[in-house]
Structure 1
Amino acid sequence: MKIALVAEHTSPLPAHKGEPTCGESVHIASVSRHLAKLGHRVTVYSRRDAEGLPGRSRMGRGVNVEYLAAGPEYTLREHEVAEHTGAFAAALADRLDEDSPDVIHAFGWTSGLAALSAADTAGGVTEDTAIVQTFHSLNASEQRAGLPERQERVRLEAAIAGRADAVVVNSADQRFELARMGLPRTRVNVVPYGVDTDHFTVEGGVATEPWKGRREERTRIISVTGLAGGGADALIETMVRLPEAELVIVAGPAPVELALDDDARRLELLAKEAGVDDRVTLTGPVDRKEMPRLLRSADIYVSAAPYDPYGGAVLEAMACGLPVVATAVGSATGAVLDGTTGVLLRSARPEALGSALRGLIAESTMRSAYGIAGADRAESRFTWQRVAAETERVYSRARPQDGELPAAVGDDAH
């Protein structure tokens, strides 16, 4: 199949050297490469968001990235991207006229708007072209986590889902939200986020920095999260209850200069006021090449995020053999099996986190069992190869010539 992946607001090729870091970029890059390995030809269409980008770049065998001119050539925030979606859609329509795909797969609501608009106007798009929509996040879900309400986006997400031939989400929670919007369950496919189990492995070296204590003295806890709204405050407050442990908080993928970042300074002050600053370390983003070594140096992974649409960091920790304590939100609910690979919590209150973490600190045998089960689960259920194969199944079922659609992918997600 010829597959057009539409990602207006992100690119699978970072401007700097290395691998993509944000959740959606990692998803698109990984799925693209593995779809190509399955024999498909993939083109990713992204907005030109930096000066000097070529019109077309080769990401790997069978995968190309095309940058379309739409708005200023620098990174924009979500609402700013939406202001240029019309121009992006027009440029996309021109490209689809020249290179007609079998499948158009959009990631995110602005990309969905652009894909539907381009499909309506591009002569190269026919009734045989399947339109697939992925929502990593829905505003209805974000509102439940206390994030800002955007009613216009809620209406647009419902309209986009209704027009697509198939909808893909990362978790059963998102399928539930779409059902509340009136979308039939059979139209929604749960295809989870993935993990590179060739890179994130149990075996391998471990990092010695930036830990402040020595392994024989303290249990090591690690979390990869945003410094604002990612649960870092609750984790630091939890450390008061865990005098036998030390914590490293790795900032999320957004570039952070800790010395200049207001949230980093606020968290450092919180740790000092709580009397745990000698056992808490904040880092900026860690290069993905180094992340497995850092994860393997810890004993427990914890996520106190009130909302986690991807769950990528949880999966990477599981693949490295760490037991996981996480709030039962978003993709974490599908990744972590409570009582088998870790502990799922209803809330991220410090007392709940402290209780769960104390239980694992005291039971090294349980930590080992959870870690072994988590690594097995990551390898058997969440590899990018399997994610790409399930995505391919969605495409095949969505194409009109393939006949009547069977049950949606993802009913056996666990």
Structure 2
Amino acid sequence: MASLGGVDTGGQNVYVAQLAKHLAAQGYLVDVFTRRESAEIAEVVDWAPGVRVIHVTAGPAEVIIKENILQYMDDFKDNMIAFIINKQLHYALTHANFFMSAQVAMGVKKELDIPFVVTFHALGHVRRIHQAEKDKFPEQRLTIEEQAVQEADHIIAECPQDKEDLIQYYNAPVEKISIIPCGFSATEFYPIDKEVARKIAGLPQKEHIILQLGRMVPRKGVDNVIRALGKLKGTKKPVKLVVVGGECEELVEETCPEYARLMNIAREYNIDASVIFTGRKNRDQLKFYYNAADVFITTPWYEPFGITPLEAMACGTPVIGSNVGGIKYSVADGETGLLVPAEDPEALAEKITQLVNNEDILYGMSRNAIKRVNTFFTWAHVAGQVEDLYKKLMPVAKQRNVLLGIDKSVAA
């Protein structure tokens, strides 16, 4: 229910929403438990056919940054259990998303004997490696993750790298891990004529457009893309970088430090006129930006999976991505796009030039991208794999009633 593109709202929100919706379409009843952020919102919201969103009181009814929410998870667990008992609900399974939800799921399992699956979406040990002292999550995160790995009935890794990290850093039993990727919505993202898409998005028609779309936080590597733009040489037409995302629709340097930092980098390279910051956009607008672009770029330091490359490829837009995590799994290097080292603007500039100067390569990659995502990464396909896993864990009599436990305020 949250607006996407902010610091704490991104791919994990999409994952839970789409998985819940597609499981409900298969006949499941799904309740999504989330922390109450407003006193005005109803306790129970009928979000979609077969899907309810239940707002649990845990701390003050206001938005809190995800790094500060762990202290309220015991209250979340107690109030969630009270809701289940008071409403006489009988869940077959809990699906926890992120480490805080995993902590709650462990408590629910202990008190109500409900098995749980966990998708971490991001791992504390990996985050520490890449962010070091910038990681503001409490130390208990690692202990909670380690405990959840042992107590979960099953673990969903989103890509092979995620599985390797779970085994290496958490000693996760191999037999308890299944690789099930994220997906994209074929009803939301599909090819649209580029000229039409640019007209709707208000973007220039006669220039190359490269797109960065997602949360505007340092680890997503937007600064790397700006520096690459400043190093471009030999392109046949001028290149514009479009950056979609941010805390609000109208970005202001005085109130958005990350936007101010990125603008200063653009000024440093004297390319501020070539970078278009759109601010946050509604989800129904995103397909126009994906289709307007010649190339989609995502070069984070690390990425547990990354849904935006799938959405771009579904629109027929080739992807240049970091050779990390889920990106190196979803992007077929040389077929649907290209992979580059993270934080290497020179290498990125070289790949951008290679693609925008060759329409035949772009066309071939576009066709390959559409075919790849529609074969392997639709939410329907993903939900089918998740359902197969659920059936192995749930008693037969309870296989049509499942709970997806998540606090969307702590989206990774």
TM-score exceeds 0.5: yes
Which string of whole-angstrom CA distances, capped at 9 and with x for unpartnered residues, describes residues 117-164 of structure 1?
Answer: 122123xx3xxx431111100012212323545543122101101101
**AA of the residue aligned to 1:107:** N
Give 1:12-411 correspondences, 5 Å limit.
13-14=1-2, 22-97=10-85, 98-122=88-112, 125=113, 129-147=114-132, 148=134, 151-180=139-168, 181-203=170-192, 205-208=196-199, 213-215=204-206, 218-229=207-218, 230-242=220-232, 244-252=238-246, 254-255=247-248, 257-259=250-252, 260-399=255-394
CA–CA distance in structure 2, aligned partners of residues 198 and 61 of structure 1: 17
CA–CA distance in structure 1, aligned partners of residues 121 and 205 of structure 2: 39
Offset, 1:272: 2.1
Which string of whole-angstrom CA distances, capped at 9 and with x for unpartnered residues, describes residues 190-228 of structure 1?
Answer: 11111111111013540337666442xx22111114433
CA–CA distance in structure 1, aligned partners of residues 38 and 192 of structure 2: 38
Q: Is the 8 A contact 1:145 1:306 kept in 2?
A: yes
Offset, 1:306: 1.0
Q: Is the 8 A contact 1:224 1:313 kept in 2?
A: yes
Using the size of structure 2 for normalisation, the TM-score is 0.86
Q: Is the 8 A contact 1:221 1:298 kept in 2?
A: yes
Which structure 2 residue ranges, 5 or more long, are not aligned?
398-412
Q: Is the 8 A contact 1:105 1:131 kept in 2?
A: yes
**AA of the residue aligned to 2:369:** G
Q: Is the 8 A contact 2:154 2:177 kept in 1?
A: yes
More deviation, 322-331/142-151: 142-151
Q: Is the 8 A contact 2:57 2:79 kept in 1?
A: yes
**AA of the residue aligned to 1:105:** H
CA–CA distance in structure 1, aligned partners of residues 21 and 214 of structure 2: 26
CA–CA distance in structure 2, aligned partners of residues 240 and 87 of structure 1: 50
Runs of at least 4 residues off by over 6 Å: 209-212
CA–CA distance in structure 1, aligned partners of residues 67 and 319 of structure 2: 34
**AA of the residue aligned to 2:248:** P
Offset, 1:112: 0.9
Which string of whole-angstrom CA distances, capped at 9 and with x for unpartnered residues, describes residues 350-389 of structure 1?
Answer: 1110111111122111111111111111111111111111
CA–CA distance in structure 2, aligned partners of residues 380 and 131 of structure 1: 29
Residues 353 and 15 (structure 1 numbering): CA distance in 2 closer, same or farther, change over 3 Å? closer
Which structure 1 residue ranges, 5 or more long, are not aligned?
1-12, 403-414
CA–CA distance in structure 1, aligned partners of residues 146 and 394 of structure 2: 21
Higher helix share: 2
CA–CA distance in structure 1, aligned partners of residues 43 and 215 of structure 2: 33
CA–CA distance in structure 2, aligned partners of residues 231 and 202 of structure 1: 26
CA–CA distance in structure 2, aligned partners of residues 164 and 175 of structure 1: 15
CA–CA distance in structure 1, aligned partners of residues 101 and 264 of structure 2: 40
Q: Is the 8 A contact 2:99 2:120 kept in 1?
A: yes
CA–CA distance in structure 2, aligned partners of residues 286 and 336 of structure 1: 24
CA–CA distance in structure 2, aligned partners of residues 58 and 400 of structure 1: 27
Residues 58 and 213 (structure 1 numbering): CA distance in 2 closer, same or farther, change over 3 Å? closer
Offset, 1:15: 7.9
CA–CA distance in structure 2, aligned partners of residues 372 and 333 of structure 1: 19
Q: Match of 1:84, SS?
A: helix
CA–CA distance in structure 2, aligned partners of residues 203 and 225 of structure 1: 20
Q: Is the 8 A contact 2:323 2:339 kept in 1?
A: yes
More deviation, 340-349/256-265: 256-265
Q: Is the 8 A contact 2:318 2:369 kept in 1?
A: yes
**AA of the residue aligned to 2:185:** D
Relative contact order, CA 8 A, sep 6+: which one is greater?
A: 2
CA–CA distance in structure 2, aligned partners of residues 195 and 144 of structure 1: 29
Which string of whole-angstrom CA distances, capped at 9 and with x for unpartnered residues, describes residues 302-332 of structure 1?
Answer: 1121122341111111111011100012221
Q: Match of 1:338, SS?
A: coil
Q: Match of 2:47, SS?
A: strand
Q: Match of 1:315, SS?
A: helix
CA RMSD, 1 decimal: 2.2
CA–CA distance in structure 2, aligned partners of residues 211 and 277 of structure 1: 18
More deviation, 151-160/23-32: 151-160
